Structures are given as C-alpha cells and as structure tokens.
Amino acid sequence: MRSGVAFAMAWNVFKFCTALRALGSIMILLVLAIVGVSYYDVVVAHYGPALVAGGLDSLLAFVVLAPFHVLLGLLLWTYFSVVFTDPGDVPPNWKPSLDEEIGETALLTGMEQPGLTDSETPAIRYCRKCNRLKPPRCHHCSVCGRCVLKMDHHCVWVVNCVGALNYKFFLLFLFYTFLESSLVTLSLFPYFLAFFQDVEIPGTPAALATTFLTFVLNLAFALSVMGFLIMHISLVMKNTTTIEAYEKKTTPKWKYDLGHKTNFEQVFGTDKKYWFIPAYSHEDWRRIPALQGLEYPTKPDLDMQ
C-alpha cells in the first residue's frame, strides 16, 4: 500500500513538472503585460502629458521618465537574456579524471555502466534519467528534462532553468526589477494617496482602476523581489546555490567557498565594466570554468587569476 502511494506521488509530481513546460510563452506574455500596464500608467496616463506641459511638472516628469526608461531597457535585456541563454548543459561524453567532491583520484575504467549509483561509487555521479555521468554541482531538472550545470532552480517566470551560464543574468533581472518596481511605486504614490483623500481625481474610472492596480502590483513585486535578491546575494557570497543550501543544511564549512571576492567574481566576472549588464568580457568567458562546461574549482589556486 505504501509503495503504491509513493508511486502515485511520484507520478503526480512528474505530471506537474510536465504541466509547467506548457506555460512557456504564457509566462513571457504575462511579464510583458505587467510591464505594459506599468508603462501605460506611468508614461501615457500621467508623466508623459506632464512632460510636455512645461514648468515644474515637466521637470519632475523628466526626473521620473529618464531613469524609468533606462531601467526598463535593462530589465527587458536581462529578462530575455535569462530566457534565451542555456543555463549550462553537461558536455557530450563528459568524463571526470578527478573526483572534486571528495578530492580523491577516480579513474573511470569500468564505471560507465548505466546501473552505477552515487551510493555505490561516491567518486562518480550518474544521472539515471539522462543516462549520463554528471559533474559536481550538477542537478537534473524534471521540468527541462536534463541535467544543468550548477543548477540553482527552475524559474517559471523566465521559463528556463537558472544555472551556471545564466545565473548572473537572473540576478541582474531581480536587481533591475526591484529598482523599476520601486520607481513605479514611488512615482504613483501621490496618485494612490488621492484615492483616500477628499479630492477630485481626474481621469476615467478605467484609468483610475489601472493606476490603483499598477501601484499595488509594483509594490508587491518590489517587496517580494527584494527578499529574493537578498537571499541570492547571500548565496553568491558563500558560493552556493538554492539547491545546495537546502541539501548541505548544517555543513560547517562549504568546500566551494573561496572568499567573498572570489565567489563574486566566479558569477559576475573580473571585468567591472560588465558587472551590471548581461554579458561577459572575452577573458571572463574563457576563464570562468562554469562557462566552459566544467565544474567550479575547489581550491583558491585554481581560481581566476
């Protein structure tokens, strides 16, 4: 009876993961719809007309609209970079020569059998679903149906896994979403207050409802994204992922933690000009091991120099 329940639960989880794949463009359209509503309310309904009105209102509108469009461009750039960037696939016929997990030499002679398990040979990790060996810090995503290098999680908002190759882009997306949502919230706050004051509010009922909805949506996004951003910054500083933070739990010393500076550079690169855009310099792309389809180094002397 118990085994039957376990089988049913596993089947339901699989069906749920399969259903997530069907969201696809729906989630992208939802994100674009939220961006569109915010753009309409801030630019078209309020600060756009004020910009051409002249006077102090025009100056205030410029102060709002200039950073609004810059942040919007960066938000969309980072968002689609996460969506369309492969998070990191295991290289074909990947075979480790060293077990980075425990620091012991592990030759592969006779270890490529599909029946191999982690518990039987802890030096080599094998994915039964992909029927392939997998590097350290690599995990199988049930939604994408493949193993992902340094997988952090599968994000339904970006319709993609967040892994070694797009983790930086995901963090920047959170960062610019927080800034953009905060700016929209602050810019619409006077109009939101007017709902609770005894003053006449210009505009049609539909426009007023859109303003109220836009303010509430962006306030909710700003607060929630801020929490995620703080969490992921702490993970970057410790050189760990959401999955690893859950799995290692009370491990006193994380073997991949090489110090704040090195941990940060392994995600964002060493070239400061590229830190705030979803791109890497040629040297960083070549040097960062994860961007070459390899596992991250476990010793400071293997780090980027």
Q: What is the largest CA-CA distance in the chain?
A: 80
Catalytic residues: 155
Q: Please return the burial class of 269, using the count of CB atoms within 10 Å of its CB with bins 0-12, 13-18 and 19+.
A: buried
For the CA atoms of 152, 133, 269, 246, the dihedral, rounded to the nearest 10 degrees, stands at: 30
CA dist., res. 283 & res. 92, Å (int): 24
Sign, CA dihedral 61-67-70-71, equals negative
Each of the 305 residues of the chain gets a pLDDT tens digit; together they read 444 433 333 344 445 555 556 667 788 999 999 999 999 999 998 999 988 887 888 999 999 999 999 999 999 999 999 999 999 888 877 777 544 444 433 433 334 344 433 333 345 788 888 888 888 889 999 888 899 999 999 998 999 999 999 999 999 999 999 999 999 999 999 888 887 776 666 666 677 888 999 999 999 999 999 999 999 999 999 999 999 888 765 456 788 888 999 999 999 999 999 999 999 998 888 776 555 555 444 433 334 33
96, β-bridge pairs? none
* Residue 66, both tokens: 């200039």
* Residue 218, both tokens: 């962006």
Beta carbons within 8 Å of 75's beta carbon, 6+ residues apart: 35, 173, 176, 177, 180
